[in-house]
Amino acid sequence: MKYVELETHQSFGGQQKRFRHWSVTLDCEMSYSVYLPPDYRNTTLPILYWLSGLTCNDQNFVTKAGAQKYAAELGIILVVPDTSPRGDIIPDAPSYDLGQGASFYVNATQEPWKQNYQMFDYISIELPKLIKRQFKSNGRQSIAGHSMGGHGALMFALKHPGRFCSVSAFAPIVNPMQVPFGRKAFYHYLGDSKETWQVYDSCFLMEHYIDQPFPILIDQGTKDEFLLKQLKPEILETVALKKNWPFQLRWQKDYDHSYFFVSSFIRDHLLFHYRYLK
């Protein structure tokens, strides 16, 4: 697993780094970003994975969320992968909600996507192996995300019982089988079988989850332009209540879907994860 360091920036006493490596899983080069807090020099620390949303890459969160300050204070390593395979020969689509930047973190089974769009395996298997080889940690990890990345964070935790100590999300797509973003992506990547779709749907996965529940925090802005048609976090809240899940949905008045929203509450999310990672 070879990687190339692209850049390093000093940030709040730690280092914000960016790397590139060849992904065997995705059959293309991939970029990822890692923040190492100042305490990384002296001790082993936990990891928080961040998954970004539609149109984003590994740099949006790094440059807009302001998370480094709080990660430095709390001693949390941040790992931020890209949202999809990329490149001139990688299949794409003219719309922003399909193709490059819009993987929905699934393993595609349909042409022309299936050779490269194996993002579930990349995030679940290949990237963690690379991070483990590249950086020392104490073995504890949590996961968070925004929008499509919120869908990914919830889905990965539900499909990997015991792997993550906690999960949080900003404006996640919680029920992709039932909303336009998800139905479009799932149809193109997975075909028309709803049985194939449901194994990537957080509401279905929580409904059928049989392991020890993990704590979940969701923030949702009341002026999010995607709220009514695409997000509907109250659907997952209903399932969580039925399952007696440690689940908190916070409605943030007048906030939209942007990184202005994410940056306003990212401190809360890192503090939330710190309680379970420390």
Task: Say whether 121 is catalytic.
Answer: no
Catalytic residue of the set 23, 103, 147, 168: 147
DSSP state of 97: T
Furthest-apart CA atoms within the chain: distance in Å: 51
pLDDT of residue 2: 87
Catalytic residue of the set 146, 151, 188, 257: 257
- Is the alpha carbon torsion for 90, 197, 157, 109 positive or negative? negative
pLDDT of residue 1: 67
Contacts (Cβ under 8 Å, ≥6 apart) of 255: 221, 222, 223, 224, 261, 264
pLDDT of residue 220: 98
Catalytic residue of the set 84, 224, 269, 273: 224
In three-state secondary structure terms, 107 is: strand
227: domain CATH number is 3.40.50.1820
Task: Say whether 257 is catalytic.
Answer: yes
User: Whole-model pTM above 0.85?
Assistant: yes
Contacts (Cβ under 8 Å, ≥6 apart) of 190: 106, 108, 109, 110, 196, 197, 200
Instruction: Indicate the length of the chain as a whole number.
Output: 278
* Domain coverage including residue 183: 3-277
**Beta strand residue intervals within the chain, DSSP E:** 3-11, 14-23, 28-36, 47-51, 77-81, 141-146, 167-170, 216-221, 247-252
Amino acid at position 145, single letter: G
Q: Which residues of the chain have pLDDT under 70?
A: 1
**Total domains in the fold of the chain:** 1
Look at the block and give the residue holding tokens 């109250």. Answer: 234
Q: What is the DSSP string of 192-231?
A: S-HHHHHTT-HHHHHHT--S----EEEEEETT-TTIIIII
Contacts (Cβ under 8 Å, ≥6 apart) of 120: 105, 106, 107, 156, 200
